[in-house]
Structure 1
């Protein structure tokens, strides 16, 4: 039989093992790091096994610790969820959800649910940071983020939202009359291109195209580099050069023929935006409410040819 005190010690161990940090685990449990360290050390002494390797910079699992986590982690998560479901039945979700998302994602996904969500959950504060930087949002204290798939860290839970997106090359009729129309993506190397750069990144984004079942990138050149999508559209309308933009963002300009779509046969759709958040044994009720609201409103619509060529700032091979 397990003594009741062991449940608290196991819960403490699992928190540290999942967070790989005594300070973060202590914060999540609402206790001091020193108290947490003593609890885990007491468990190790009772088991006669070292469960965690500790240094001043990191925490890692020993072989015994990994085995224990595999055995009890899921069971404790199930128990925690059972207790949490009972607690939540008697009260409304509340608290603050800190969300980081790109400008286009805020317009497309948050704005449509905002009225109903704030009315339905009056005790939840949705703290939004809206910019196009690619950041380590967990390290910066955010609970979740909405971003496109190619800039999501691999260890995140990622829920697809909405439809696929497609990027296309566009130019004004005046530019094409003066410089001609590229027949293939590689001919873009001979043209004046309006480049875009992820905010906070040092190099411009390479334009990505699809041919014969595979994606390839073209590193274009030109007179302007911008970190603003809206400025890029204005530059294209002014005839500065060819731009590469999400099709939806220039649909009105294509319809009134102020811009012309180029190289469409090389422009395939790919999975677009995802709601992502770190894996955790028990999700805070306020975050769960936001996740459910987005999933219910924006069920994914997907097609063929997933995009695999991307400049993921978190991927050293990108």
Structure 2
């Protein structure tokens, strides 16, 4: 094969990992039509179809899966070798892709974006908001952020928030009309805003703890959403009772737009962690981002 075919192999690996021409094109900084043309040329040169394409999905053929298995380690070695050049630079450089729910993005990443832009201009940070638990390896992310209780054992993790607490909230108008629940089981007689877990499709149970008492309640949910921000917005329209992380509702509570109930039943729980594959070599750019966003008092999972 000619030297110019390397660009075709790069294109193939990106498409195979992203399972999408659009996402792969964005990752490589080219247009989808250009990427499609490059892929067609590669398949013509090797004389075999490497990808199955439909209007909705892209997947590797058996031959494509075989080629990807051979190429992926080599490309990882190339990336590692190039990353090693960062030691000769004054500033870290490179792309860091992070997958996180919107709540974590707002609490963990947004407060540090200014410092990262100012102190590390060579780092390109790509943040993708996703509520479900992401397989960061399969989806081509360098790291993800999720609650500590949701982490997989095969990942390394760094704490990025203190312990958090949920708040059970609704508008004063709602409580005036329907009354204020005093016990978790009272929620069975209220209109609650439910949360559907994207990954499993399961309707989330509301968990409570008071001293030695622990309760899980499947609340009455005439309205079910899959996004924490939408749940809060719905609560502000008097649609029902919602649960939210306390930091997200403090301003609404202080302004009187929302009121909190059963605070004594809402115990602290492990906060957010940044997690990434459990391997020895990761980029200097990722290490830099980790050091910037890590919570100063480390407990629980920790990579170092």
TM-score range, shorter chain: 0.5 to 0.7
Residues 26 and 209 (structure 1 numbering): CA distance in 2 closer, same or farther, change over 3 Å?
same
TM-fit CA distance, 1:188 = 1.1
Aligned residue in 2 for 1:90:
88
Residues 134 and 144, structure 2, Cα contact 8 Å, conserved in 1: no
Greater mean alpha carbon deviation, residues 267-276 or residues 168-177: 168-177
1:299 aligns with 2:299: no
Whole-Å separation in 1 of the counterparts to 2:261 and 2:88: 57
Specify every segment of 5 or more residues in structure 2 that has no aligned partner in the other structure, as ranges.
1-68
TM-score normalised by structure 2 residue count: 0.68
1:28 aligns with 2:71: no
Whole-Å separation in 1 of the counterparts to 2:113 and 2:153: 29
TM alignment of 1:128-139, pairs within 5 A: 128-139=127-138
TM alignment of 1:59-138, pairs within 5 A: 88-91=86-89, 92-138=91-137
TM-fit CA distance, 1:224 = 0.3
3-state SS in 2 of match to 1:138: coil
Residues 202 and 291 (structure 1 numbering): CA distance in 2 closer, same or farther, change over 3 Å?
same
TM-fit CA distance, 1:277 = 0.5
Specify every segment of 5 or more residues in structure 1 that has no aligned partner in the other structure, as ranges.
1-20, 32-79, 307-318
Aligned residue in 2 for 1:254:
253
3-state SS in 2 of match to 1:282: coil
Residues 238 and 140 (structure 1 numbering): CA distance in 2 closer, same or farther, change over 3 Å?
same
Aligned residue in 2 for 1:160:
159
Aligned residue in 1 for 2:209:
210
3-state SS in 2 of match to 1:158: strand
Residues 234 and 240, structure 2, Cα contact 8 Å, conserved in 1: yes
Whole-Å separation in 2 of the counterparts to 1:171 and 1:275: 31
- 1:16-40 deviation line (CA, Å, top 9, x unaligned): xxxxx76543332249xxxxxxxxx
TM-score normalised by structure 1 residue count: 0.65
Runs of 4+ with deviation above 6 angstroms: none
Aligned residue in 2 for 1:222:
221
Greater mean alpha carbon deviation, residues 208-217 or residues 170-179: 208-217
- RMSD (Å) for aligned C-alpha atoms: 2.6
3-state SS in 2 of match to 1:107: helix
TM-fit CA distance, 1:89 = 4.0
- 1:237-263 deviation line (CA, Å, top 9, x unaligned): 222221111112111221222222111
TM-fit CA distance, 1:111 = 2.0
